[in-house]
């Protein structure tokens, strides 16, 4: 089975722009979660989707949004980018609510 695939791996954007990151979960996995990793804040939970519905949301501003499609693929969008949004964004998938979670390699976003 292919693992969790995140695209692109690296991205450079300018302040004020918006960005969309993509995550393809492991085949058969219906839950997709997103995390932000920064040197200062560590790993922080953004949100989790299950069967196209957002089930849980972390403490991030509304500029951060996501969605999940019927094939379980997920996208994360950040609007009006700020320098502080520079981070490694990790996606994780699991088959259902149990804790069998697998992480992708992440998308490194740099905001300049």
Partner 1 sequence: AQSVTQLGSHVSVSEGALVLLRCNYSSSVPPYLFWYVQYPNQGLQLLLKYTTGATLVKGINGFEAEFKKSETSFHLTKPSAHMSDAAEYFCAVYLNGNQFYFGTGTSLTVIP
Binding site for partner 1 (CB under 8 A): 4, 6, 31, 33, 35, 42-45, 48, 50, 55-56, 58, 90, 92, 97-99, 101-106, 108
In whole angstroms, what is the distance from residue 7 CA to residue 83 CA? Answer: 21
Instruction: Work out how close the CB of 50 gets to partner 1 at its nearest, in angstroms, rounded to a whole number.
Output: 7
User: Is the CB of 3 or the CB of 16 nearer to partner 1?
Assistant: 3
In whole angstroms, what is the distance from residue 96 CA to residue 65 CA? Answer: 22
Instruction: Work out how close the CB of 16 gets to partner 1 at its nearest, in angstroms, rounded to a whole number.
Output: 26
Edge-to-edge strand ranges of the sheet holding 64-68? 5-7, 19-24, 74-78, 64-68
Instruction: Work out how close the CB of 11 gets to partner 1 at its nearest, in angstroms, rounded to a whole number.
Output: 13
DSSP state of 80: S
Pairing of strands 10-13, 107-111: parallel
User: Is the CB of 60 or the CB of 102 nearer to partner 1?
Assistant: 102
């Amino acid at each position: 089975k292919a693992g969790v695939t995140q695209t692109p791996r690296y991205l450079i954007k300018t302040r004020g722009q918006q960005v969309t990151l993509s995550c393809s979960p492991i085949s058969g996995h219906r839950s997709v979660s997103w995390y932000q990793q920064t040197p200062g804040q560590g790993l922080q939970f953004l949100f989790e989707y299950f069967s196209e519905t957002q089930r849980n949301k972390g403490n991030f501003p509304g500029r951060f949004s996501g969605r999940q499609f019927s094939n379980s693929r997920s996208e994360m969008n950040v609007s009006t980018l700020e320098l502080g949004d520079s981070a490694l964004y990790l996606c994780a998938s699991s088959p259902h609510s149990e804790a069998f979670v697998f992480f992708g390699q992440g998308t490194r976003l740099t905001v300049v």
